[in-house]
């Protein structure tokens, strides 16, 4: 299904018509702490100069009323763009240092780079699978928080500047911050980078940490959770009828003891929330730097308690359009609406801090690949799309002798726009550094693996074969087809996929790692980019990257994850 851009109620006209009344008290007895939260930046550092313009306005307002601003991020900071990936996230940390972040959570994609250096997973016993995270934490002037990431023997994971929680003082108010990451992390990054860690349940990690911080005098508790949900409108923060009630962060909020946590700054799902659940405020603002969240804590300075929390709708930082429509974040490219009745100005300080990163990335991005496309290859993380078909077809074409290529839809991260195709275009499609993996599997084994992935919610993309999934006796079954004919289960197939999937990522080839041979010479992204000039004619004709709504490559009986009664 080709979906149009979802129009969301984000403007001032759609905001709540009234906020909760300010508590009646003597002048100066209340302090406002504005909690500003970002999430899922995915390396879009060029957006941060506009975020900073909004922050400057808010910080000036809080200084004027003797309040303060708390700036946090809910994770997935650096994986996704040339500006960030070429330095393994250093550009993001440098920008966050400039902006004055107070703390960040560690997201699943923080693990993607693995050890420091060209390898994205440990190849020898000397390689540290969390080397990049630890290196970036040492460079940061703010802590990385990870309360539910524990060592294999159950101890807190505490490399330098990584800890479960912290306390910061803002305008004289002590605020406890706790970081957690989604329990799906082992399947949402390469699991080999988590071999020394375990991911504990969110609630189990947050409650004792929050109780300890309260006992130490924290007036408010803010959780940075790389776990999210989704709401469609933001008019009434107490109206949950337009929200996904069973999402991970909503379940967490409902399970928390009343009054323990004030705000959850959420992430991971790339959606938005500005709501109150079980007395807990949850805010989340999309992805890729296009918006930020805000929740104002109104603190009674005499009693040392939070009297109320004002929730703002997600604030778009450029001009109200989605990031896919923003071709440039330059100083003259955005026209943000006035914020707090003031003009938002581009912050040159952030751009200056990133100048070398941006220049190096631009030189790589502009390389032409010898083909021009005339239509948009849109992408989806949940279903077949032209962009994912292009990637998986190029993967098979670049692998001599491959009968079938398997790729995960969530690995395609951007649309390919009409026009001459550049290195940067393809990099945005596939920003990950996973290498390719090959195996000889029977059709029956491959079908079982695809069924397992579908049950976990993975949307596998196929090239060379088609597949039909159905429910039989309460179990997901997959039938592979070649030219419309079912393949005998014993048929031997040469399979190429990504190292991520081959190592058990997303649950497709779980516990099948020994069946695959890794091709370590270069990342899968570079393999498919190298195939683009050779396959130019077939791309233009639709033989590579073809998408036919009448004949999907994978036919499903229902939405993912597949559940059979």
Instruction: Report residue 508 as tokens.
Output: 């497709």
Q: Can you tell me which residue has the tokens 């959570």?
A: 105
Q: Are 35 and 260 in contact (CB under 8 A)?
A: no
153-181 confidence digits (pLDDT tens) = 999 999 999 999 999 999 999 999 999 99
Query: Is residue 33 classed as helix, strand or coil in its secondary structure?
Result: strand
Residue 240: DSSP 8-state? -
Long-range pairs for 205-210: beta carbons < 8 A, 24 or more residues apart: 205/147, 205/148, 205/164, 205/178, 205/180, 206/147, 206/148, 206/178, 206/180, 206/252, 206/256, 206/261, 207/256, 207/257, 207/260, 209/147, 209/164, 209/165, 209/178, 210/176, 210/178, 210/260, 210/261
Are 314 and 234 a contacting pair, CB within 8 Å? yes
What distance in Å separates the CA atoms of residue 447 and residue 443, rounded to the nearest whole number? 6
Residue 72 in tokens: 């946090």
Which pLDDT score, from 0 to 100, does residue 522 have?
A: 87
Domains of the chain: 33-358 (3.60.21.10), 367-555 (3.90.780.10)
Listed in order, strand segments (DSSP E) in 239-366 are 263-266, 272-277, 280-285, 291-300, 305-316
Give residue-wise pLDDT tens across range 228-249: 999 999 999 999 999 999 999 9
> Which pLDDT score is estimated for 12?
42
Amino acid 10: pLDDT: 52
Cβ-contact 219, 173 below 8 angstroms = yes
pLDDT in tens, 175-218: 999 999 999 999 889 889 999 999 999 999 999 999 999 999 99
Global confidence as pTM: 0.85
Helix (H, G, I), strand (E, B) or coil at 375: coil
Which residue has tokens 């003597």? 26
Note the pLDDT of residue 2: 37
pLDDT value, residue 27: 53
Pair type for strands 436-442 and 492-498:
antiparallel
Task: Specify the pLDDT at position 320.
Answer: 63
Q: What is the C-alpha separation between 176 and 306, in angstroms, rounded?
A: 13
Q: How far apart are CA 245 and CA 214, in angstroms?
A: 28
The CA-atom distances, in angstroms, between 331 and each of 49, 345, 346, 359 are: 8, 8, 6, 16
The single residue listed with the structure tokens 């910061």 is 168
The predicted-structure confidence for 393-415, as pLDDT tens digits, reads as follows 999 999 999 999 999 999 999 99
Give kind and range of the element (H or E) at residue 462: strand 460-463
Q: Where are the beta strands (DSSP E) in 154-242?
A: 162-163, 165-170, 173-181, 197-199, 220-226
* DSSP code per residue over 79-114: TT-HHHHTTTTHHHHHHHHHHT--EEEPPGGGGTT-
């Amino acid at each position: 299904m080709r979906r149009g851009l979802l129009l969301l109620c984000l403007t001032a006209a759609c905001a709540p018509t009234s906020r909760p009344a300010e508590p009646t008290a003597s002048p100066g007895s209340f302090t406002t702490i504005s909690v500003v939260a970002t999430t899922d930046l995915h390396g879009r550092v060029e957006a941060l100069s506009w975020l900073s313009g909004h922050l400057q306005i808010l910080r000036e307002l809080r200084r004027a009323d003797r309040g303060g601003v708390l700036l946090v991020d809910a994770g997935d900071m650096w994986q996704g763009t040339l500006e960030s990936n070429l330095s393994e996230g250093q550009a993001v940390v440098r920008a966050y240092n400039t902006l004055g972040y107070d703390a960040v959570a560690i997201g699943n994609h923080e693990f993607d780079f693995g050890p420091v250096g060209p390898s994205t997973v440990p190849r020898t016993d000397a390689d540290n699978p969390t080397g990049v995270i630890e290196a970036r934490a040492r460079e940061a002037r703010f802590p990385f928080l990870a309360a539910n990431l524990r060592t294999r023997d159950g101890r807190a994971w505490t490399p330098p500047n990584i800890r479960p929680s912290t306390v910061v003082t803002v305008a004289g108010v002590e605020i406890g911050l706790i970081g957690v990451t989604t329990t799906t992390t082992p399947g949402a990054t390469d699991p080999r980078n988590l071999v020394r860690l375990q991911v504990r349940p969110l609630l189990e990690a947050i409650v004792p940490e929050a109780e300890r911080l309260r006992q130490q005098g924290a007036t408010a508790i803010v959780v940075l959770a790389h776990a999210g949900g989704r709401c469609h409108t933001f008019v009434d923060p107490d109206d949950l009828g337009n929200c996904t009630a069973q999402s991970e962060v909503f379940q967490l909020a409902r399970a928390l003891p009343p009054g323990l946590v004030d705000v959850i700054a959420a992430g991971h799902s790339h959606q938005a929330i500005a709501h109150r659940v079980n007395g807990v405020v949850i805010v989340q603002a999309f992805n890729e730097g296009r918006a930020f969240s805000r929740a104002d804590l109104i603190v009674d300075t005499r009693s040392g308690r939070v009297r109320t929390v004002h929730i703002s709708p997600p604030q778009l930082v450029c001009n109200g359009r989605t990031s896919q429509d923003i071709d440039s974040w330059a100083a003259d490219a955005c026209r943000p609406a006035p914020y707090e009745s003031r003009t938002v100005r581009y912050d040159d300080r952030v751009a200056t801090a990133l100048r070398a990163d941006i220049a190096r990335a631009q030189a790589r991005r502009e390389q032409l690949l010898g083909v021009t496309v005339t239509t948009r290859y849109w992408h989806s993380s949940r279903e077949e799309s032209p962009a994912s078909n292009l990637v998986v077809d190029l993967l098979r074409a670049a692998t001599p002798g491959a009968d079938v290529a398997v790729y995960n839809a969530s690995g395609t991260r951007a649309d390919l726009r009409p026009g001459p195709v550049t290195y940067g275009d393809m990099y945005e499609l596939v920003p990950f550094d996973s290498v390719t993996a090959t195996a000889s599997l029977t059709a029956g084994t491959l079908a079982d693996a695809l069924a397992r992935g579908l049950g976990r919610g993975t949307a596998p993309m196929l090239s060379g074969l088609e597949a039909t999934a159905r429910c039989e006796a309460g179990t997901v079954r997959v039938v592979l087809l070649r030219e419309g004919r079912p393949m005998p289960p014993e048929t031997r197939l040469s399979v190429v996929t990504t190292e991520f999937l081959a190592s058990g990522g997303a649950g497709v080839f779980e516990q099948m790692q020994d069946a695959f041979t890794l091709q370590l010479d270069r990342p899968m992204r570079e393999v498919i980019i190298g195939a683009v000039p050779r396959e130019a004619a077939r791309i233009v004709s639709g033989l590579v990257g073809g998408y036919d709504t009448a004949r999907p490559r994978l036919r499903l009986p229902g939405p993912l994850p597949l559940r059979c009664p």
